[in-house]
Every structure is written in structure tokens, then in C-alpha cells.
Amino acid sequence: MNPLASAFVTASAPSLAAGSTLVFFGDSITDCGRDRAAATSLGNGYVASVASRLGFRHPDPDRIIYNRGNSGNRVGDLAARVDHDVVAPAPAIVSILIGINDTWRRFDRHEPTSTAAFLDGYRALLSRIQEKTSTHLVLLEPFLLPVPADRKTWREDLDPKIGVARELAVEFNATFVPLDGLFAAAATRAPAAYWLPDGVHPSSAGHALIADAWLAATGLA
């Protein structure tokens, strides 16, 4: 039994019928080195870990899992490719992790995404998915640790976007994975850089944390 499982109570849980398709949608944290030339490449991060554990706990040779993370993506980038990457494969579950680049670009390129714009863009994205599919939504909370220390100033921008993700999870009856809090708790057990070496991108241990939390939140642990 996943030790995190008892920490999650969700309004709804996804079903995983035989032959189901799952799509993991997001930025570089999801991408994690996937081979763009191979449609079913899962990369080297939490998506591959979730897939392997699902394969062990819920064997199904007909299950299809797609990693559709693209490095550098913001919420608007997901909206631009949602029909191809999410609507077309008609997944039983779509898992979305987005938001950190909407914060990061404010600080490295002076290209901010306001909280209101993030909310509107994310809501439109989820509305499109629900309009065109019968998929179950899993929303992953964007996260950040203070590595290096200047990441602390990013909280003023990211924290409202975390609030948006939480709000939309309720609005769309999605399963929610509270990763920011889980990484903060993990950083009391080992240094923050052990989990997120640059405060954003997970180590192997950080990816394992995400995979465990995802399986627990969805009830598929």
C-alpha cells in the first residue's frame, strides 16, 4: 500500500478499464527527456515511473500511455496543442502539470503571466477537454523550493497560480495532487536541493515523490 494513500480524499476517482489511454500533459517536468520521434516514449521521470507501477499493479497489455510534456511550455502553449495531444487520443485520464514557466518567464525574460490570465487560460483549456472528451482530469499542483535562494522571490507570483490550480480542481471535479506542500514537507527530511536541484526540476527522488503522490491521489496505488 502506498503510504501516501490515506492522505488523499478526492471527490471522484478515475476508472481504468482494459485498454485505457492515459495522457500526461505539461512542461519539462513531464517531458523529462522523452524522444519526440517515438510516440510512446515516456521520458526518464515521473511519467515512466507511474507507467511502470501501473503495469505492475494493474496489468494490461493494451493500455496506452502518452507523455505529452514539452519543455518550456506555459498554459497558453498547452491550449495551442490540446486538440492534437489530448482530444485526438480520447484518453480515459489526462494528467496536467503546468504553471512554473508562467512564473519563471516573469523573472528571466520579463514576460509575466498575470494570475487572471493564468486562470482564464487554464479554465479554457479544461473546458475544451471536457467539451470534447469524457476523460477524467488529474491536476498536479505546480511547486517550487528555494534553490537557489532567489527562488524565494518567485513565491509572490507562483502562490496565486497554485491557488488557481486548486480552485479549478474543485470547479472541474478533478483529482488534485498537492505537490507544493509535499515537496515542502520532503525538504524537512532532506535538503531542498536533494529533491529539486534547481528549485524546479526534480531529481530522481523528486520524480519518485510525484509518482507516489499521483498514484495515491488517483487511488491507483
Query: Is residue 84 flagged as an active site residue?
Result: no
Instruction: Clarify whether 159 is annotated catalytic.
Output: no
- Contact assessment for residue 135 and residue 91, using Cβ atoms and an 8 Å cutoff: yes
| Annotated catalytic residue within 83, 120, 150, 198 | 198
DSSP secondary structure code for residue 150 in this structure: G
- CA nearest to 143, candidates 175, 182, 116: 182
DSSP three-state, residue 2: coil
Pairing of strands 64-69, 21-26: parallel
Catalytic residue among 41, 77, 201, 203: 201
Determine whether 198 is an active site residue: yes
Annotated catalytic residue within 20, 28, 49, 95: 28
Q: How many CA atoms lie within 13 A of 104 on its CB side?
A: 19
Show the cell assigned to 38: 517515438
- Residues with a catalytic annotation lie at 28, 198, 201
